[in-house]
Amino acid sequence: MAHLTLKGNPIESIGTLPAKGSEAPFFCLVKTDLSEAGPADFAGKRLVLNIFPSLDTPVCASSVRRFNHDASSLDNTVVLCISADLPFAHKRFCETEGLNNVISLSVFRSPEFGQEYGVTITTGPLKGLLSRAIVIIDADGIVRYTQQITEIVDEPDYSAALKVLA
């Protein structure tokens, strides 16, 4: 389990992020049109999994905006923004913000995603949501970078993540 904090207060997640160099765990998540998407839908692409608790928080919204901006310049790369928010909330947020360089995905049908990736929060007021993390998967499905953000209200290290994709 990962030991995290929410504004300095201890919380925990169900596990740890997949190991660098390991095969990325399978996932099947829900897109904004209620269809499902998994690794086969992005075959041959590098994936940035931007995982976060909810679009309804400023830091989560900021990370989606930032990756939307930076994604337009990345070759052969897809940014997946993943949370427990319903697909309707993802769609509304992206349409309102004019975000079209990311793919928003919901785990509402797939609680196993949080378990497989070790990001389901198990204690505290955000219990049941996903922790803030970045996982980069190469075109062959191998995990190349991970960052578990230990203080939930902090933003990820965008520079380090993007450097892996340079």
CATH number of the CATH domain containing 96: 3.40.30.10
* Residue in this structure with the two tokens 């204690």, named with its chain if needed: 123
E strand intervals along the chain: 3-6, 9-12, 29-30, 36-37, 46-51, 77-83, 103-106, 133-137, 143-148
Contact (CB, 8 A) for 148 and 16: yes
Three-state DSSP at 10 gives strand
Which structural domain, as residue segments, surrounds residue 138? 3-33+40-165
Taking the C-alpha atoms of residue 68 and residue 103, their distance in angstroms, rounded to an integer, is 9
Rounded-to-integer distance, Cα 3 and Cα 62, Å: 23
Name the domain count of the chain. Answer: 1
> Residue 61: pLDDT above 70?
no
| 105: pLDDT strictly greater than 90 | yes
Q: Mean pLDDT lowest for which of 69-73, 119-123, 124-128?
A: 69-73
| pLDDT confidence band for 68 (50 / 70 / 90) | low
Contact criterion met (CB below 8 Å) for 165 and 46: yes
Report which of residues 62 and 32 the model is more confident about: 32
Residues marked active site are found at 60
Q: Provide mean pLDDT across the span 28-42.
A: 96
Which residues are paired to 5 by β-bridges? 10, 151
Arithmetic mean of pLDDT over the chain: 89
